[in-house]
Amino acid sequence: MPRSWNIPGPRTWGVAAASAVLLLCTAQASPAGAATTALPLCPTVFGHGGYPTGANPWDRDQVRQPNNPKGLAQQKSWGAGGVEADLQLTRDGTKGVMWHNTTTNGLTGTRKAITELWWATGADQLKGRTITRGPYTGETVYTFREWLDSAKSKNLTPLVELKGEAEQSLLNSDSAIRERAWAEVIAPISERIASQKIMIYTHDTALKPELDKRIKAAGLSATLTGHPSWVDGIGWEEPPPAASGNYASWQAAWTRLGSTTASVPVATSWTKDLTTWLQGKCV
């Protein structure tokens, strides 16, 4: 779903993936007196799968989010160095899974809220369901651990959005449910952080203080910093709007963020278009 310029921020995105930054440095005279300029370093682009911004978006959603290995591979092929994707929890926090919708809309089987389903128990279990439309049709739902491992194998940095629906278990009145649920969020990161860069955030105002507290208590404070700036200027729709609607916003972002000493992180829903637009504008 679309966001504002910086993560974390309000739920107002129409955003896109980025791959380079445009900011010409101040001209400096060479020994011979000729003026030279230096291009900024290309950014690390975080790709996100666009989600419709109009009325009834779930009816038009094409499940473009890189919550599965096929989606990760496509983002990589478009020039992404990172991805933004979505962490949900099944009923009572029994399994962390990568899925963006509140319900199983876009998956096989009966439509139910993710928080009402067990991962691998019952006739309506979530495990084994597959995507029914869009570019990743046939892909299944992956656990948080499986997805992190796939991102690492593709050398992509994960930016994980903890979805607000997970309040069902993470803020449950039953302490056993709460602790089990938080373990599904924290443990997969703790197990991998020594060898894999991972970042996490949430837009949910009730979850955010608890997420920050528990992440810091686990010694994972670095996962809360260094997040990319969203640089898109228009909202996603289906079919996707022309990327040219973002050009002014992208240019303004590069002017503000570009650096000749650091590769800044930026995020977009138009990954392929942004990386193409940046060609020749960074090194």
Using pLDDT thresholds of 50, 70 and 90, give the confidence band for residue 81: very high
Number of domains in the chain: 1
Of residues 26 and 159, more confidence is placed in: 159
In CATH, what number is assigned to the domain containing residue 251? 3.20.20
Residue 7 lies in a domain: no
Residue 126 lies in a domain: yes
**Burial degree of 33 (CB within 10 A; 0-12, 13-18, 19+):** exposed
pLDDT-wise least confident of 32-36, 88-92, 110-114? 32-36
How far apart are alpha carbons 188 and 135 in whole angstroms? 28
Residue 144 lies in a domain: yes
Q: What is the mean pLDDT of residues 114-124?
A: 96
Residue 2 lies in a domain: no
Which residue bears the tokens 């869009």?
134
End-to-end Cα separation, the chain, in angstroms? 30
pLDDT of 166-210, one tens digit each?
Answer: 999 999 999 999 999 999 999 999 999 999 999 999 999 999 999
pLDDT of 223-273, one tens digit each?
Answer: 999 999 999 999 999 999 999 999 999 999 999 999 999 999 999 999 999
Provide the pLDDT for residue 54: 84
**Burial degree of 122 (CB within 10 A; 0-12, 13-18, 19+):** exposed
Provide the pLDDT for residue 244: 98
Residue 12 lies in a domain: no
Residue range of the domain that includes 184? 28-277
Which residue bears the tokens 């686990």?
218
Q: Is 69 left (phi over 0), alpha (psi -120 to 50) or beta?
A: alpha
Residue 3 lies in a domain: no
DSSP letter for each residue of 69-86 = HHHHHHHHHTT-SEEEEE
pLDDT of 93-113, one tens digit each?
Answer: 999 999 999 999 999 999 999
* H helices present in 34-140, as ranges: 57-60, 69-77
Residue 16 lies in a domain: no
Residue 101 lies in a domain: yes
How far apart are alpha carbons 230 and 254 in whole angstroms? 11
* H helices present in the chain, as ranges: 57-60, 69-77, 144-153, 167-170, 175-192, 207-217, 247-257, 271-277
Where are any strands of DSSP class E within 8-48?
28-29, 35-36, 44-47
- Let me know: does 260 contact 38? Beta carbons within 8 Å: yes
Percent of the chain's residues with pLDDT above 70: 87
Closest among 273, 236, 239, 201 to 45, alpha carbons compared: 273
User: Is residue 19 predicted with pLDDT exceeding 90?
Assistant: no
Provide the pLDDT for residue 227: 98
Percent of the chain's residues with pLDDT above 90: 85
- 268: phi then psi, degrees, rounded to nearest 5: -155, 160
